[in-house]
Structure 1
Amino acid sequence: MIIDQKDNTSIITQEKATIIELVKKLQSLYPKFKGNNIVISLTSLRPLILEDILEFLQLSNQHRKSKHSFVIVTDKIDLNTVPDELIVVPTMQEAFDIIEMEEMERDLGF
């Protein structure tokens, strides 16, 4: 797991471990990230299935309730199968675009 910080966004890149191991690690390290937007980059992992992405649902819901963005980046899954509660995009640029839009919405009171 590689952690980068860009402004108020934590970018977490997973290269080797399984999704379940990553989610457990994120849950234990969550206090470190809870005040930031979070981008999870899964672009270097093997093809993913919907169940892999659903592992992040609880963490995503918890983080979004605290008025921060939680975005998963992968181009290895059919985005049409992902539930609306999760934000999954194919590129890092789209992740940053989503965060920017959500921050504007929060500033406007949505």
Structure 2
Amino acid sequence: MKVDQKGHTVTIKNTQGDFNAFLEKVTQQFKTFEKQNIIIDLTADSDLSEKELKLFLPLAKQQKKAKKSFVIVVSDLDFNAISDKLTVVPSLLEAHDIIEMEEIERDLGF
């Protein structure tokens, strides 16, 4: 697991290739990151399913309650099949753009 901090956003990248171990580690260390926007970078995992991504729902809900963003980056997936409760994008650039837009919305009171 690799963690990069850039401003008020933390990017957490799965470097092990073991999705379940990564999910467990992120869940255990979530309190460390909860005051920042979070990007989960899963671009290295090529065979993820929608079911596996849904395992991040509890963390995404916690972030929304705390008025912070939670974005998952997956390069190879049917984005139409993803739940509306998760924000999933195909690139890190789009993840940063989404966070920027959500921050503006929160500043405006939406």
User: Among the aligned pairs, what percent are the same residue?
Assistant: 43
Q: Structure 1 residue 37 and structure 2 residue 24: aligned?
A: no
The more displaced of 67-76 and 15-24 is 15-24
Local SS of the residue matching 1:11: strand
Q: TM-score, normalised by structure 2?
A: 0.95
Ranges in structure 1 where 5+ consecutive residues have no aligned partner: none
Aligned to 1:86: 86
Matched, 1:25 2:28: no
1:46 to 2:52 alignment: no
Partners of 1:52 and 1:97 in 2: how far apart? 24
- The aligned counterpart of 1:72 is 72
For these two proteins, the number of residue pairs brought into alignment is 110
Distance 1:76 1:16 in 2: 18
When the two structures are superposed, what TM-score results if normalisation uses the length of structure 1? 0.95
Partner of 2:12: 12
AA in 2 matched with 1:55: L
